[in-house]
Amino acid sequence: MADILLGARDVAIERGYRCLLKGLSLDVERGQLVQLAGANGVGKTSLLRALAGLGRFGVTGHIARPQALLYLGHLPSTKPTLTPVENLRWHPSGRVAEDDQAIVAALAAVSLTGYEETPIHHLSAGQQRRVALARLWLSTEPLWLLDEPFTAIDVLGAALLEARLVEHADQGGAVVFTSHQPNRFGDRLQVLDLTQYAA
């Protein structure tokens, strides 16, 4: 039974009085992987943010989103003076991770075992990015909105991420992400080219 997690009807996105996209409609069901594609500047990030609920002012149209969703943007949302464990213990959406074991397991999944107590600013950029991605292993939200998750991680990280996204979709979740890169998921992936909606 198709269960629609995210629905958008006739959405138009504006930035600074300039219309970027219009007439966009989209349904994301459980188990789907959707990639938003298009040239630089077409409005991928703006649309993703609008779907998440961030851009309220420049958005018209109807968007139905679930109560709980996970949005990962370009910024890591980690505090540099705290350790990965301390950072992951607290999720801004309000849910506080109950036990540290899950956090340690998540860090292990992104190959950061041994770095649990190292302050973030002592980690390399790639490692910091992986800490941010570790949230995906702790997430209980069904809908994930990821902005360019495959950028700035190495090959190993990308493989881990791919596997995790597929796993999430198999478990009944859904992922919408933006990417410049070509299809990694084969038939599984639905690509939405935003150029058709450009104003």
DSSP string, 11-71: EEEEETTEEEEEEEEEEEETT-EEEEE-STTSSHHHHHHHHHT---TTEEEEEE--SSEEE
Query: Helix axis angle, 155-170 relative to 125-133, nearest 10°?
Result: 10
Q: Which residues pair with 19 in a beta bridge?
A: 14
End-to-end Cα separation, the chain, in angstroms:
35
**Residue closer to other proteins, measured from CB, 45 or 190:** 45
- Among 74, 122, 163, 171, interactor with other proteins by CB under 8 A: 74
- Is residue 98 close enough to count as binding other proteins by CB under 8 A? no
Q: Which stretch binds other proteins (CB under 8 A): 84-92, 158-166, 168-176, 190-198?
A: 84-92
List 40, 81, 101, 140, residue binding other proteins (CB under 8 A): 81
Q: Are 94 and 42 in contact (CB under 8 A)?
A: no
Q: State the binding string over 16-45 for other proteins (x if CB under 8 A, else -).
A: xx----------------------------
172, two tokens? 């009944």
3-state secondary structure of 110: coil
What minimum distance in Å lies between the beta carbon of 118 and other proteins? 15
- Using the rule CB under 8 A, is 80 a contact of other proteins? yes
Q: Which of 94, 114, 182, 186 binds other proteins (CB under 8 A)?
A: 94
Q: Which of 1, 2, 40, 56 binds other proteins (CB under 8 A)?
A: 56
Of 156, 81, 167, which is closest to residue 111 (Cα–Cα)? 156
- Residue pair 134/140 in contact (Cβ under 8 Å)? The answer is no
Interface with other proteins, residue 121, by CB under 8 A: no
156 touching other proteins, by CB under 8 A? no
Token output for 18: 């300039």
Report the nearest approach of other proteins to the CB of residue 71 (Å): 6
Among residues 91, 108, 118, 190, the one that binds other proteins under rule CB under 8 A: 91
Cβ-based nearer residue to other proteins, 32 or 46: 46
Closer residue to other proteins in complex, CB, 77/151: 77
**What pairing do the DSSP bridges indicate for beta strands 59-64 and 4-15?**
antiparallel
The contact set with other proteins (CB under 8 A) reads 14-17, 52-58, 67-69, 71, 73-82, 90-94, 96
